[in-house]
Chain A
Amino acid sequence: MNATTQTPRGRAQAESVLVLALLLALWWLASHQQWVSKVFLPTPEATLESLAQGLGSGGELSGFTLDTIVRMLLGWLLASAIGIALGALIGASNTARIWIAPTLEFLRPLPASAVMPLAISLFGLSSGMVLSVVAFGAMWPVLLATVHGLAAVHVRLREVATALQLSRTAFVFKIGLPNAMPDILSGMRLSMTVSLIVAVVGEMIASQSGLGQAILLAARSFRASELFAGIVLLGAIGFASNALLAVLERKVLKWQRP
């Protein structure tokens, strides 16, 4: 973190910033020289202006951003809660795992968005529909991680549980889930990414207010700078949520490291 660029670390950081600046300069040049049509590629300044306008007072983008974040977080929390609960139920019993696991393996590669038409015909084009698909799609990483984490409890720990005559519930809460924590957390990180993707798709299809709908409308009316502003905001949401979760993961798993 030294400000002097003499240290190797400082130099690497400076170079890293320089590469990003070069990419931005390339964008600037490409849009100003009209290498790519202005219809597709707005100038960086225009994108920045659209961002400032949309996020400033009277702009709509801040509201849309908030809508998308709320949808993503709600769906993610639901998915995590349901995923851990179902995963613990299935993972705690060997019998349940043997009978149900093959079905889960079949459902796992199913694209979350493929459930959307079914959800539309069940719930209509509502925000509840989008939320349910987000929760359903984002549930799988957490569920499978929980099942896997519970199954992978070390034999020694199982013996300890038997020796202490722990009930099955006590085993799950005292040994199983803490043991599965690293798996569950990395599952939750993956499911956050899925949540954002499905939330955006849902907003596009069901015309629910949010960034997904905003960028689709901007593209349809050829307002490229607003489209880019929306993409930038979505990237920022993805970046921020990922970074926050990484910090959270480190804090929660502190006890695991010596």
Chain B
Amino acid sequence: MQDECLLKLRGIEKSFPGVRALHNVDFTLRKGEIHALMGENGAGKSTLIKILTGVYQMDAGSITIEGESVNIHSPQDAQNKGISTVYQEITLCPNLTVAENMYIGREKSSWVKQKEYETKADEILKSLGIPARSSQQLGSCSLAVQQMVAIARAVDMNCKVLILDEPTSSLDDKEVNMLFSLMRDLKSKGVGIIFVTHFLEQVYEVSDRITVLRNGEFVGEYLTKELPQVQLVAKMMGKELDELNSLSDAEDREEGVGEVLYEAEGLSSTETNPFDFKIRRGEVNGFTGLLGSGRSESVRAIFGADKVNSGKVKINGKPVKITKPIDAMKNGIGYLAEDRKRDGIIPDLSVRENIILALQVMNGFFKPISRSESEAFADEYIKALNIKTASAETPVGSLSGGNQQKVILARWLLTHPDYLILDEPTRGIDVGTKLEIQKLVLKLAKEDVSVTFISSEVEEMLRTCSRLIVMRDRHIVGELKGADLNQAQVMKTIAGGEA
């Protein structure tokens, strides 16, 4: 009965300069269903959402709403056509009341009819079972309730299609349940909901159908109850399970034999649950899991990049306190950040200046590195890492992604760390450079440097790591080594054991 088509996207194409973001993507949303849109990072989920909400214009393809062919020109236009979006970051004003937030920007008269808005808002909040009062200041509500108010606003605007973009990422379990019951309620009222999330369990809990995208292409649409978790993971990562099973090249790899270099017990930060972790000298290990599983957050906690809440940390058996990146650096830990644009390079400074940055910070600002010294360092590492740059004085911003990454690597190598954390060092760089970086990691390990390596490409991790720590939904769910180090096992562990 619920097969009535609400929204139909066919053959969507979208390219950005140099990248094809979406190619021949189909998506169908029926009345009264919750449809999860899944895919790894770069799969094209956000591009598709932005086309639906009018932020981007598609290059080719067709969108039909209830059988009518439409063009969506702007976010405002999307709202008028009944497509509302609730983003991960709440786009409401915390300093206004709940009722004001629900009606601002769409009232017709120039007088603010506070009483009228409050009465109407209270009715809607009550009918949706949202635990908020209309005259309450929005900032005094919990994040979950704020998100629900945003949904209530969308519902009141007669939305037919509701897009929830990562709505649960900042909510706790109880709040997630509240949100889910609201979603089910809306579903029974005939609203079509597109649910974007990285949390697999939530998808299975609440969604009816799943559409998977990979590398900007449509992989398939499945009924949630007919698609086992492990299959879903395989589809997202682009490996058929059978193929995976045959691929079990259990290349024996020894776990590092050196003494334990770094050991953490019950370490937790504002972004992670407590976890235990240790690494030996000359060992390469890795954190794996889907995006949002907490793999980056864990290493950020090790480096002190997020606020550390608890945990005992020992280096070479001696207890140390690492609460800030500088503490970690002084203890010989280097960290190559996941997002090199945001956390890593300073694009307007030259290659040389970027390379000496970490060393300079460690030395303190009263012991400047002389010009000739820094030039020597820069030349050494440009040669050693084969960085392709016009000269050491070229601004880093003008180099290619792979070479920028090498500059940051050089920066950390220059501090001669005992323990190097590489978070997605190979993302968005060409295959040749990827191999160079992998080789470099193995070479470092031979020189007794411990390395933690994170990558969304499992093959890459299997090639470099001797031990893999598997995470799901912010918990460590398994540790693989030796014969277990193969794709199939990794997928199974990520998906939750049962296959």
A and B: bona fide binding partners: no
**Which B residues form the contact surface with A (CB < 8 A)?**
none
**Which A residues form the contact surface with B (CB < 8 A)?**
none
